[in-house]
Amino acid sequence: MAKPLVVVIPHQLGRAEARRRIEARLGQGRDLVQKAGLTMQDPVWEGDTLAFVLGAMGQTVGGTIAVEDEAARVEVRLPLLLGMFSAKVRQVIAEKGGELLAA
């Protein structure tokens, strides 16, 4: 397995508000995932860290979103087969993550 892909998304919301926005918009994210033909297991919160698992192209992609006071740290573990798409995945996470935390 390749090393984790990490994207840090800065925000000025504070930890509680950032977590609230992520939690409130999980349903929208699930809809986007399904429209893209992917699967998503129920995400699980442990403290201020959200763990998720997606299915893509017969592969499983797991990761976490750690909500911090001034940033959300997204870590995705891509299987080797999907590693060639890591630059695009990083770009999408940065763009969509910023939208997720926007007002």
Q: What CATH number is associated with residue 36?
A: 3.30.310
- Average pLDDT value over all residues in the chain: 85
Total residues found in the chain within this entry: 103
Per the model's pLDDT, the better-predicted residue between 22 and 32 turns out to be 22
Per-residue pLDDT, averaged over 70-83, amounts to: 86
Number of compact structural domains in the chain: 1
Ramachandran assignment for 58, one of left (phi > 0), alpha (psi -120 to 50 degrees), beta (any other): left
20 pLDDT tier (thresholds 50, 70, 90) = very high
Could you tell me where the DSSP H helices lie in the chain? 15-24, 26-35, 86-101
Cα torsion angle, 7, 13, 17, 21, sign: negative
pTM metric for this prediction: 0.83
Q: Which domain holds residue 19?
A: 5-101
Cα 103 to Cα 83: distance, rounded to the nearest angstrom? 32
- Cα angle vertex 100, ends 94, 102, to 5°? 100
